[in-house]
Amino acid sequence: MNGIIVINKEKGYTSHDVVAKLRRILNTRKIGHTGTLDPEATGVLPVCIGKATKICDMILNSQKEYIAGIKFGITTDTQDIFGNVISQKEPCASIEEIKEAILSFEGEIEQIPPMYSAIKVDGKKLYEYARSGVEVERTSRKVKIEKIEICEVSKENALIKVSCSKGTYIRTLCDDIGKKLGFGACMESLVRTKSSIFDIEKSIKIDDLNLDNYKDYIINIDEVFLDYEKIVVNDEIKMRLINGAKSTLDKDEGKYRVYDKDGNFICVGKVIFYNKRNVIVSEKLFYV
């Protein structure tokens, strides 16, 4: 059993809960998720099964899309509505000022990771320090907000759609928007609508998945690489790729989806210029 199932995670489940339940449903151990979602967040959680676990890191590092609710005038220790309230102020900006503040975060920005996160410092997760009442100094890091679309906005709340790079904390984005406005804000709700090529329209809730219908939702590994040109290789090149060897190939430099003559997906191959000729090597092997 190999492929990806896009789970629409519901509130109350951790990402690990989803993996554990899927292992029981499918009766297989080789399953991995592709990036945590907070228990109170919902939406797209691609889960890799079998050989597809080799691309967990690739999906984890891909672009994401979220729909987030923002509550103005409140800040909390977790930067979302579920934390302990730190401050409350009356929102005192116009709708245009709120819109301007939100959209100012498009592009490459600096974010300080929240204390309530799984980032490790000295071998310990930040949220473990936070639960002990210890504040740890964190280094800001660059993230990219590709696009922010304002879906709804009032003086008390906003609903935004955010396309962003890996490592972006939407809770922190909401908190930073509140800081810019001068009266604070926190995240009220969060739905991940897309992760890499996987969107919420093709997802299924874990409680609706079973052995009878899982094949309707499993996505073949090679579908992740449809942007790469497909090539078919002979048995000799196939065996060399499987064994990690280079093979001369009359193709332009770049990445390819490589299949054998029977239609089996072998690998993502990379053509490089080597020793005065173009050769192909396996970059991600899925055949064995």
Q: Is the CB of residue 222 less than 8 Å from the CB of residue 257?
A: yes
Q: What is the pLDDT of residue 198?
A: 94
Q: What is the pLDDT of residue 148?
A: 98
pLDDT digits (tens, 9 = 90+) for 171-216: 999 999 999 999 999 999 999 999 999 999 999 999 999 999 999 9
Q: Is the CB of residue 59 less than 8 Å from the CB of residue 15?
A: no
Question: Looking at the structure, do residues 175 and 208 belong to the same domain, yes or no?
Answer: no
Q: Which of 176, 207, 222 is the C-terminal boundary of a domain?
A: 222
Question: Looking at the structure, do residues 180 and 134 belong to the same domain, yes or no?
Answer: yes
Within 10 angstroms of residue 147's Cβ, the number of other Cβ atoms is 12
Enclosing domain of residue 49: 3-61+197-222
Question: Looking at the structure, do residues 187 and 82 belong to the same domain, yes or no?
Answer: yes
Three-class secondary structure of residue 154 per DSSP: coil
Question: Looking at the structure, do residues 56 and 69 belong to the same domain, yes or no?
Answer: no
Question: Looking at the structure, do residues 201 and 280 belong to the same domain, yes or no?
Answer: no
Q: In 3D, which of 217, 219, 269, 214 has the Cα closest to residue 242?
A: 269
Q: What is the pLDDT of residue 123?
A: 86
Residues 6 or more apart whose CB falls under 8 angstroms from that of 60 comprise 34, 35, 166
Q: What is the pLDDT of residue 98?
A: 97
Predicted model pTM: 0.89
Catalytic residue numbers, as ranges: 38
Q: Where are the beta strands (DSSP E) in 35-139?
A: 42-49, 64-72, 74-76, 85-88, 107-111, 120-121, 124-125
| Tally of structural domains, the chain | 3
241: domain CATH number?
2.30.130.10
Question: Looking at the structure, do residues 8 and 40 belong to the same domain, yes or no?
Answer: yes
34: domain CATH number?
3.30.2350.10
Question: Looking at the structure, do residues 122 and 187 belong to the same domain, yes or no?
Answer: yes
Question: Looking at the structure, do residues 96 and 55 belong to the same domain, yes or no?
Answer: no
Q: What is the pLDDT of residue 120?
A: 87
Question: Looking at the structure, do residues 167 and 78 belong to the same domain, yes or no?
Answer: yes
Distance CA 269, CA 237 (A): 11
Q: What is the pLDDT of residue 239?
A: 94
Question: Looking at the structure, do residues 97 and 186 belong to the same domain, yes or no?
Answer: yes
Q: Is the CB of residue 83 less than 8 Å from the CB of residue 77?
A: yes
Question: Looking at the structure, do residues 57 and 84 belong to the same domain, yes or no?
Answer: no
Question: Looking at the structure, do residues 36 and 9 belong to the same domain, yes or no?
Answer: yes
Question: What percent of the chain is predicted at pLDDT more than 90?
Answer: 80
What stretches in the chain show pLDDT beneath 70? Answer: 288
Q: What is the pLDDT of residue 287?
A: 83
